[in-house]
Each structure stands twice: as structure tokens, then as C-alpha cells.
Chain A
Amino acid sequence: MDEKLARKLRVLADAAKYDASCASSGAPKRKAEKGGLGSTTGAGICHAYTPDGRCVSLLKILLTNYCLYDCAYCVNRRSSNVERARFTVDEVVSLTVNFYKRNYIEGLFLSSGIVRTPDHTMELLIEVAKKLRREHGFRGYIHLKTIPEASPWLVEQAGIWADRLSINVELPTPGSLKMLAPEKNAATIRGAMGQMRERIDEAKEEKRRFSPAGQSTQMIVGADDTRDADVLKTSASLYDGFRLKRVYYSAFSPIPEASAVLPLKAPPLRRENRLYQADWLFRYYGFAVEEIVAGGEGGMLDLSIDPKLAWALKHRERFPVDVNRADREMLLRVPGLGTRAVDKIIRARRHATLRLDDLARLTPGLKRARPFLVVPDHRPTRLLDRADLKARLVPQPTQMELFA
């Protein structure tokens, strides 16, 4: 690869790395056409992990980091002195194809700073996707960032080529957005998300292809002072209103060329982690957002323990749970038991009465679950009444655990 292209790649990968939404999941399974290139597997594949523990799945780059907008949290805002670069459409296409052929990536996640106009920028993004599909018969994964200020017909075009579309809401409240991203507007963003949702739903119903892996979004946490309760309420309403596949939470992290209006401190990684756990709880574990938030104090989640444990400690009267009798809903509320373990328990107990040994084989989380469970050979006498239960269950402070 020649040096000029390598420089662009360095600058434009660096500029894109703050977007967490790099999953390659959700596309219908496809194979390459005879003589063609590319497939999708459904669940997606992480082709590498960087030392921050994040998955490298798609080639995640900006078409350009020149940008006319001035979003305070962003390294690429027009008032930043960061090094700039601009790919041509063909350079992105060729990089994608060549990386893909070597099995480095699942596909492309393309975004861009705003150059000339939102429409012009959006047209360039679409052009890349179209070339990949048309000229290279590329059947791998394509995720395009949609620019909400672009004309609505361009969203319709983008959905033809992309597997996933996304627009970042960026900040949890319209007020914060107005303050930190003066060119953006919460209503415009939600309008475009609504348009995408309608088209995606209609296409699914009519068995046509339009952004088949749906849409996702990202919210930055820690750049403004929104409480967890409001962050979670916002995401619940986004899941609901726009049928998002995922809301990504991104801990605001120090950037080079930072703006004077933002705090430069270590990214709140633990908070980000707790938000993901909470997100899981209301999507897959039957918790209401209010219940989850009530596990913490003052609208913030407890950082020292996961939100499920926090809820359980505040609702000790609901425990211990009889593993051999409790319904699925209640089993899902036991700290340490995941959805998979719960399903296995329910299947196994139809055939045998489960004892402690059995449980150890059904879940890797028995140690955490024990104080909350009853089986014939184990009853947590008075453990639940102990004032120091929380202290006993808080994980030893080791390195930060994080979702990949």
C-alpha cells in the first residue's frame, strides 16, 4: 500500500474509532455468487480485538474528517486542529475489497464528516456502497451512517445497498445536543429515524430488501450531566419508537484537540458497562427501567455492583427462589443466572430434581446466585439478612470488566 493511502487510512480510522457500533450482525444469511465475493453469517464475526478489548469486525473509517459542523465532543469538528484527510470513493472501495479478500474484515462501516452539504456527503457514502455491490458483486456487510440533515430521498437510496443504517442521537437529551452540537437537531434526527423505521418495517412485511439488519444508534455518556435514569429512559423510548437493534453507549473519552467546554478525564468505562447491563435487563430480563434505576441512588446506577444484583439486594423479600419451582420470570431475576442458564434449568428440571451439583453444571454463575437460591441440599439460612451481604458479593477490585 503506498504511503499516501496509508496516511489517509491512519487519519481516517483514528477519526472513526469513537463510534462503538461496529457489529456485523442481523443481516440475512447470504453466500457469494459464483465467482463473486462476500457472505454474511447472521451473528457476525469479530476478526480481531484491539488492546481496548473491542471487536474489530468492519473496516470502520470516515470518508473524510473534514467537517463543517462543530460538535464539541468530536475530534473532527471544524474548529479542531486535527490532521485532515479525504479518501476518494475508489480508494475506500479498493481498501474494503482487498482487506475483505484477506479475511481481515466482515465488511465496511462508513461514515463521514460533513463536506459541502449533507446531501453531497450522503451521496458520496451511497456511491461507495453502490460501487461495492455493483462493480465487485460484494455481498459482505455494509453499515452506512445516515446524515439526518440530508434530503429524505437519500435515505431511501441508502437502504438499497446497506445492511444496516444508523444515526447517532449523540446525547441523551435534546438540550445537551443543542448545547454541544449546534448544527444538529434532535427533532431532525428523530424524524430521519422514524422514516427509516417505517421503510424497514414495510420492506420486511413486503419481503423486500431495505436495510435488512435494521438500524442502531449511539449515545455518548459522560459528556453532559444527564443521569442514568434519563439515559435509560431515552434508550427505552428509542427501542420502542424506532425498533432499534441496538443502542450503543459510548463513554466520553479524552480526545486529541479537545474542546474547552468539555471535561478531560478518564472515560467512565464502568458506568458505560453498567448501562449496557441495564439495557440488557430491560430488553431481555423483563425489568422495567424504573425498577433498574431504583437499584441505585439518585437516578444513578450503583457502580460497584451490577444492576441485577443491586435490585436483588433491595428486594430481599423476594428471595430465596426455589430453583425447582420458580417460574421463568423470577429465575431471570436471580443474580448470576443468565437467560441461557435459566432455559437450561427449566428444561432439566422436567426430568430431575436439581441439586447444587446439578446447578454447577447448568450455570457458570452459581457462586453469585447461591445466596438467592433454594435447592433440596442448600438453603441460604439468614444469609439474605446479613447487612454485609453486599460487601461479600462485590467483586474484588480487579481490572475493569467490559462487554466486548
Chain B
Amino acid sequence: MRRVRLSPGADLDGFRHSVRGLVAEGVPPDEAVFEAGEEAGLFGAPASEEEAPTLSLPRAVADLVRLVVCHADPERYALIYRLVWRVTHGERRLLEVGSDPLVHRLERMAKGVRRDIHKMHAFLRFREAERVGERERFVAWFEPEHHILEAAAPFFRDRFSGFDWSIHTPEASAHWNGERLIVGPGGRPEDAPDVDGFEEGWATYYASTFNPARANTRAMLNEMPKKYWRNMPETSLIPSMLAAAPQRVAAMVAAQPAEPRKRPPTRALRAMTDQEPKTLEDLNRIILASEPLVPGATRAVLGEGRIGSELAFVGEQPGDQEDIEGRPFVGPAGKLLTRALDDAGIPRAEAYVTNAVKHFKFEQRGKRRIHKKPTAGEVKHYRWWLMKELDLVHPRLTIALGATAALALAGKTVSVTKVRGPMGYVGLDGKERQGFVTVHPSFLLRLPDEAAKRREYDAFVADLHAAHELARDLAA
């Protein structure tokens, strides 16, 4: 017989260490005895000085071991050793055989441990304690069924990073100080404060959220067995909630439908449906107050120009310069647009300018803010505002500059090269509007050689000219 002594609780390291030794020496499961005792770490037998070679176990087995060592059953180590032995002796895929009695039993144990951890995450209640330093401090008392404190504690660290907390259990305690998770000795219920200012409010909530017409204690007890109730302040109300339920239901059913005590709020009802922004200022106020829907984005850059302008120009999004000045089309592309408008004989006063996306989407690289093209989804986040804006400005013709603007008008991807020229689109009211698609002036700026630049500039001016003509025709 080989006797292996392990620390009390879930001694995963000790167990791993001894199992390596046992397997290396070929000790069969029937000849190994595991004892969890006070004299931690002193195991009787395979104590060779150097570490036995690590065992390579399938991932699923390792996961199962990690859970089952937490189980309260004193036989747990022996059972796992049996599993490890079989897995390392020809039955590598043993865990797939859920019908095997050993696998079945270990899986049930793992399930019990998993459930216990889950219930601890669910049912533990913190109470606020006096601060030690600056930080808030909360303390809880909890009685798990298995040795799970260490397995359960990281959840609380990940969730409650901003205050100090301690969790006491009969067997061990865990403490978080904002930097480190420390495991300490077990404690008593008195280690947690005996009141908390919010418990009454919580009980109020618990009682109010209960629907007496649906009372079903079995479902409740299945999920929240009585053994947990002791440390859950709200559960003390359950008996009275249940006792009062039948009467409450009977009273509801018996009550005659009552006439409303108040007169119908006619004025408020009329005002209720009247929420649409009615002026461009109203809409702009909404846009300014809203959260940007692209990353980067410091402030909203609104459209500019006269209501009833003949032409409305829609660009992609404000750039660096536009974002700094808070006005659209003031950067290099904007200057080029102004020049082209001039060359096309369109008075600037006849042009309303705006962008599909109202914020500058960029990525900070060192000191530079690098322009990022908005995605289709982002353009659609902004589309409602654009559509409303165009309705309020009410131009004769809307000109989409580039693919992003065309997407914003059409509501779907549009190829500028293919569609270039007049394009109908559908407004929020479902009615058709007249649009026109051409390139974005920044495209002209990016062209490498002068000849192409000139050629494309002329084509752009020709487009503007054509659009202007079209707008005139529409007016006639």
C-alpha cells in the first residue's frame, strides 16, 4: 500500500505531484491510499527528491481533475487517480464514454462542484464594512458545500476591482486589496458586518418583483435550495410572501374594474405625437447632444448653408481641419470644392454642404490623427440624421460626393464609377428624391500625376455643371 497525504481542502498541486510519482512508479490504483490531513505535504511514500516527469493528460481530463479535487467527498483523490491510471493505460479517450460508471460518477461530482461555484457567485451577499484606508470595503460570509473558495474567488476579483473585499468561509478566506488576491484562514459568520444599509431596499425589491398569481415554490427550491437561505437577507420574507399570495390574487380577481379617477390627459396626448424636430436648429441641437457613433470623434461638425439652397453637397465625414474649426469643407478638399463650384459657375450661396458622418473618425498615431474611413454600419448609424437634415434644408438636388455619401443616400453600397450622374433615392417618408453621384474632391487631391489631376478635375467640374443644370430643370 502506498499512502499519500494531502493538505486539507482542494490540494491540486500536492495531488498532481504525487500522481506523477505514482504513475512513474507504476503503482496501480488499488495500491494507493489518499488521505487529506493536517500535516500538509508530508506524503508517506513516493517521496523521491526530484520531480517525476509531468503527465500529459487530455485537456478535458485535466479540466475534470481541477474541478473534482474541490469536491467534499473524501474519496475524490482515489477516484481521480483511477481515472488517470486508465487514461494513461490505453484508454486515452475514456472521458467520451459517459456511460462508464467511473466517468459518470466523476462527471456528477464535477457538476456538483461547478454548481456550487456558480451558486457562490450568485448567492453571496456583500455588506459594506468600515474603510481601512481610502477605499471602500465590503465583506461577506458564505458556506460552500465543497472546497471551492479559491476556484470561485477570481470571479469576484474580475468584477469588483474598485473596492477592497473579503470573503470568509468556515475553511478559508479570500481578500482583495486592489492589487492582489490573498488566501487566508477560515473564519466565522461574525467576520462580516451584521447589517448593511441597502439590505432593506433589496428586500423591498425582491418582494415587489414577485407575482403572487404565479406562486411556484418547487421551481424556486430547485434553483435556490434552503441551505443557501441563511446568508441571503431577502429569503426571510418568503414565508410571508407565500402566505399572502392567495389573498392578493383573490382580491385582484374580485375587484370590479374601476373608472379612471383622472380625466384623460387630452392636451398631453396631443402633444405626445409631436416630437419631430421641426427646424434645422432643432435637429442640430439633437446631433450636438448625441454621442458620437465612430471612434475618435471629438465634436459634431454640422452642415452649413441656406435652407432651400438649390444644391446640397454631402461629403464623407469632417477631416482634421474641419474638426478643429468645427465647420464642414474648410480643409484642402473643401477648398478644391469651392474652386470647382466657381469654375462650374455655381454661386457658393446656392450650395448647402454637409457630411454623411457628422464626426471625425480617426486613429491617434503619435501626434497625428489618421483619418479612418467609416464602415457601412457606421454610415447607417448616421443616416437618419442626414435624411432628416436634407428634408429640412429641402434642396432641389442632393449631390453625393464619393462612395460613402452615395451609400448614405441610397442606404446601400453604390459604385461611384458605375452610377456617376443622376441617382434617385428614397427618403424617410418612403418617397423618391432626386440625387446625383460624383467623386469626392479628396480623390482629386490624391491623384499622383498632373495630367490625371487635370483630367479628373475637369470631369468633376463638368459633373457639377450637369448637376446644376439638372437642378434648374427640376425647378422648371
Report which A residues bind B (CB closer than 8 A): 1, 5-6, 9-11, 13-14, 16-18, 31-39, 41, 45-56, 59-61, 68, 78-81, 95, 98-99, 101-104, 114, 116-120, 130, 137, 140, 151-153, 156-157, 160, 198-199, 202-203, 205-206, 208, 210, 251, 253-260, 264-267, 269, 344, 347-348, 350-352, 354, 357-359, 361-362, 399-402, 404
Asked if residues B216 and A52 are in contact (CB atoms below 8 Å), the reply is yes
* A399, B218: Cα distance in complex, Å: 8
Contact of A160 among B118, B265, B276, B293 (CB under 8 A): B293
Q: Which residues of A contact B202 (CB under 8 A)?
A: 99, 102, 104
Report the bound CA distance from A401 to B214 in whole Å: 11
Q: Known interface pairs A79-B264, A81-B258. Does A404 touch B223 (Cβ–Cβ under 8 Å)?
A: yes
Q: How far is the CB of A243 from chain B (nearest CB, A)?
A: 15
B214 touches A117 (CB 8 A): no
Q: Which residues in B have their C-beta under 8 angstroms from that of A103?
A: 124-126, 140, 156
**Once the chains bind, are A352 and B249 in contact (CB under 8 Å)?**
no
- If A36-B161, A79-B264 touch, does A258 touch B257 (CB 8 Å cutoff)? yes
Complex-state Cα separation, A359 to B98, whole angstroms:
9
Q: Is the CB of B260 within 8 A of A81?
A: yes
Q: Is B138 located at the chain interface by the 8 A CB criterion?
A: yes
Find out whether the CB atom of A38 lies under 8 angstroms from the CB atom of B200.
no
A269 to B274, CA, bound (A): 40
Residues of A within 8 A of B271 (CB): 116-117
Answer yes or no: B201 CB below 8 A from chain A CBs: yes
Q: Determine the chain B residues whose CB is within 8 A of the CB of A50 once the complex forms.
A: 206, 209-211, 220, 241
B396 / chain A contacts, CB cutoff of 8 Å: none
Residue interface bits B125-141, CB-to-A below 8 A is 1, else 0 = 11110000000101010
How many residue pairs link A and B with beta carbons under 8 A? The number is 271
Task: Using C-beta atoms within 8 Å of the partner chain, give the interface range for chain B.
Answer: 35 or more
Contact of A38 among B127, B159, B238 (CB under 8 A): B159
Q: Give the interface of B toward A (CB within 8 A).
A: 93, 96-101, 104, 118, 121-128, 136, 138, 140, 155-156, 158-163, 178, 196-202, 204-220, 222-224, 232, 234-235, 238, 241-242, 245, 249, 252-253, 255, 257-258, 260-262, 264-265, 268-269, 271-276, 286, 290-291, 293, 375-378, 380-382, 384-385
With contacts A13-B205, A361-B101 taken as known, whether A33 is within 8 angstroms of B161 at the C-beta atoms is yes
B271 smallest CB distance to A (angstroms): 7
Tell me the bound Cα distance from A156 to B22 in angstroms: 61
- The DSSP consensus for interface residues of chain A is loop
Residues on B with C-beta less than 8 A from A104 are 125, 198, 202
With A and B bound together, what is the CA distance between A120 and B217 in angstroms? 40
User: Cα distance A351–B100 when bound, in Å?
Assistant: 10
Q: Are the CB atoms of A199 and B380 closer together than 8 Å?
A: yes
Query: With A68-B269, A361-B104 in contact, do A266 and B377 touch (Cβ < 8 Å)?
Result: no
Instruction: State whether A152 and B208 are in contact (beta carbons under 8 Å apart), knowing that A78-B265, A99-B198 are contacts in the complex.
Output: no
B98 touches A401 (CB 8 A): no
CB distance A202 to B375 under 8 Å?
Answer: yes
Which one, A53, A68, A361, A399, contacts B99 given CB within 8 A? A361
With a cutoff of 8 Å between Cβ atoms, the chain A residues found around residue B209 in the complex are 13-14, 16-17, 50, 56, 60
- Known contacts being A68-B269, A81-B261, is A206 close to B377, with CB within 8 Å? yes
Are the C-beta atoms of A45 and B380 separated by less than 8 Å? no
Cβ contact within 8 Å between B252 and A264: yes
**Assembled-state Cα–Cα distance A357/B100 (Å):** 10
Q: Is A399's CB under 8 angstroms from B216's CB?
A: yes
Nearest CB in chain B: distance from A281 CB, A: 21
- With CB as the reference atom, state the residue of chain A lying closest to B135: A35
Complex alpha-carbon distance, A96 and B125, angstroms: 15
Q: Which 7 A-B pairs have the closest CB atoms?
A: A53-B219, A202-B377, A358-B99, A1-B201, A260-B257, A13-B208, A52-B214
